[in-house]
């Protein structure tokens, strides 16, 4: 069966979702194998369609999207990379998808997109500017008459940008955006130009940080790189202070999983106290392979993320009878 890129989670675990699943559902449907809807969520219908496709193609009937099935289903496409797998899981932790935008609840101004690009951090402006440069009418079609205002905001000093964002944020917590702006970002997020720009920025900025940190701390298997990517997105990267090296030095020849756990805990301890438990839950889930994030239980092996030698995933993929 080879490496798994995505599979149906057993009951009690969060289903795999995202662009890779959406593309798989489209590919199967185009070849006459119904997934019972194209929603980007790996459920029973997708598993059944994959099993039928594998049977007709003379492949092992795993019901999973794996490295044997990929070149037959997508013969002209490169196989999914560690970045693709890490992005699917971290973007699910973030919970925005390509479309959702939220207000200035945390001082970040506006947060939008697959890994939460923020106005305060400057990343939102970079993504929007990339969209505008590549397809000059995309912002106009999404925002209408407000597009000129948005372009003007992107040229202002950061403090003025945050003041503007505060003015379109609603409620006591300022979590929600005014409906016209929320709808505009949602319309923008469904466009191919916006999705490509978001993915490109996630790769260029955050995956580069993840690769740097995974090489620096000897976390070069897929699970280690996925951990470093989540740290890059949520925390900006691994702090170069002495705490992590001191913690690693306290143990003699730690296993890859133990190295991940040490780094996960140190990153959590180095974050703001208000967010430490959220950071810890995300990082420990990636460090150990299983955990609960925002109330949902995750098994990273369902998402194709393992250390290749881990015993932390004792079950086999479910059969159609079990489904």
Rounded to whole angstroms, the Cα distance separating 109 from 164 reads 8
The SS3 of residue 275 is: helix
pTM equals 0.91
273 and 236 inside one domain: yes
Q: Is residue 92 part of a domain?
A: no
Q: What is the pLDDT of residues 34-53, one digit of tens each?
A: 999 999 999 999 999 999 99
Residue 197: the pLDDT is 97
User: Would you say the C-alpha torsion 185, 186, 190, 195 has a positive or negative sign?
Assistant: positive
List Cα–Cα distances, 254 to 46, 212, 263, in angstroms. Answer: 39, 21, 12
178 and 234 inside one domain: no
46 and 138 inside one domain: no
Which residue among 139, 154, 189 closes a domain? 189
Q: What is the pLDDT of residues 100-135, one digit of tens each?
A: 999 999 999 999 999 999 999 999 999 999 999 999
111 and 180 inside one domain: yes
118 and 34 inside one domain: no
Beta bridge partners of 65: 6
182 and 210 inside one domain: no
Residue 81: the pLDDT is 96
Provide mean pLDDT across the span 289-301. 97
48 and 110 inside one domain: no
Identify the band that residue 1 occupies on the pLDDT scale cut at 50, 70 and 90. low
The SS3 of residue 292 is: strand
Q: What is the number of structural domains in the chain?
A: 3
Q: Is residue 310 part of a domain?
A: no
Q: Is residue 17 part of a domain?
A: yes
CATH number at residue 71: 1.10.101.10
Which residue among 135, 162, 189 closes a domain? 189
Specify burial of residue 295 (Cβ count, 10 A radius: 0-12, 13-18, 19+). exposed
pLDDT of 71 higher than 90: yes
Q: Is residue 272 part of a domain?
A: yes
Q: Is residue 318 part of a domain?
A: no
Q: Output the furthest CA–CA distance in the chain (Å, rounded).
A: 62
Q: What's the mean pLDDT when you consider all of the chain?
A: 93
pLDDT of 315 higher than 50: no
Structure token pair of residue 228: 């470093």
Structure token pair of residue 135: 């397809």
Q: Is residue 266 part of a domain?
A: yes
Residue closest to 212 by CA, chosen among 193, 191, 236, 178: 236
- Neighbouring residues of 82: CB distance < 8 A, sequence distance ≥ 6: 222, 225, 226
User: Would you say the C-alpha torsion 303, 306, 312, 317 has a positive or negative sign?
Assistant: positive
- Neighbouring residues of 111: CB distance < 8 A, sequence distance ≥ 6: 96, 101, 102, 117, 118, 119, 124
Domain membership of residue 169 as a residue range? 101-189
Q: Is residue 41 part of a domain?
A: yes
List Cα–Cα distances, 13 to 46, 54, 170, in angstroms. Answer: 16, 25, 34
Rounded to whole angstroms, the Cα distance separating 232 from 114 reads 14
> Pick the residue with more confidence: 323 or 15?
15
Structure token pair of residue 89: 């899981």
184 and 207 inside one domain: no
Rounded to whole angstroms, the Cα distance separating 210 from 306 reads 16
Rounded to whole angstroms, the Cα distance separating 303 from 313 reads 12
pLDDT of 323 higher than 50: no
180 and 257 inside one domain: no
Q: Is residue 319 part of a domain?
A: no
Which residue among 131, 163, 189 closes a domain? 189
Q: What is the pLDDT of residues 209-235, one digit of tens each?
A: 999 999 999 999 999 999 999 999 999
143 and 212 inside one domain: no
17 and 76 inside one domain: yes
155 and 242 inside one domain: no
Provide mean pLDDT across the span 160-180. 97
Residue 296: the pLDDT is 97
């Amino acid at each position: 069966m080879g490496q798994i890129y995505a599979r149906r989670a057993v009951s009690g675990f969060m289903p795999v979702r995202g662009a890779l699943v959406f593309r798989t559902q489209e590919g199967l449907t185009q070849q006459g194998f119904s997934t019972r809807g194209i929603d980007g969520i790996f459920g029973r219908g997708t598993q059944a369609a994959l099993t039928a496709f594998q049977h007709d193609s003379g492949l092992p009937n795993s019901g999973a999207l794996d490295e044997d099935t990929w070149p037959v289903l997508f013969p002209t496409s490169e196989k999914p990379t560690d970045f693709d797998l890490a992005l699917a899981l971290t973007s699910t932790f973030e919970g925005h998808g390509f479309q959702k935008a939220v207000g200035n609840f945390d001082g970040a101004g506006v947060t939008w997109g697959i890994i939460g690009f923020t106005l305060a951090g400057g990343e939102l402006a970079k993504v929007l500017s990339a969209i505008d440069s590549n397809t000059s009418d995309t912002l106009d079609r999404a925002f209408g008459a407000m597009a000129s205002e948005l372009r003007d905001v992107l040229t202002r000093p950061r403090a003025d940008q945050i003041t503007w964002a505060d003015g379109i944020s609603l409620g006591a917590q300022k979590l929600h955006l005014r409906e016209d702006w929320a709808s505009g970002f949602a319309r923008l997020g469904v466009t191919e130009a916006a999705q490509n720009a978001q993915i490109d920025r996630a790769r260029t900025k955050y995956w580069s940080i993840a690769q740097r940190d995974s090489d620096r701390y000897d976390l070069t298997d897929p699970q280690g790189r996925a951990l470093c990517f989540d740290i890059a997105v949520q925390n900006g990267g691994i702090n170069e202070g002495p705490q992590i090296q001191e913690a690693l030095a306290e143990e003699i020849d730690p296993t890859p999983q133990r190295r991940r756990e040490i780094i996960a805990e140190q990153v959590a301890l180095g974050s703001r106290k208000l967010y430490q438990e959220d950071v810890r839950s995300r990082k420990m889930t990636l460090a150990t392979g299983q955990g609960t994030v925002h109330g949902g239980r995750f098994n990273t092996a369902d998402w194709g993320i393992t250390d290749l030698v881990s015993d932390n995933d004792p079950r086999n993929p479910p059969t159609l009878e079990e489904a």
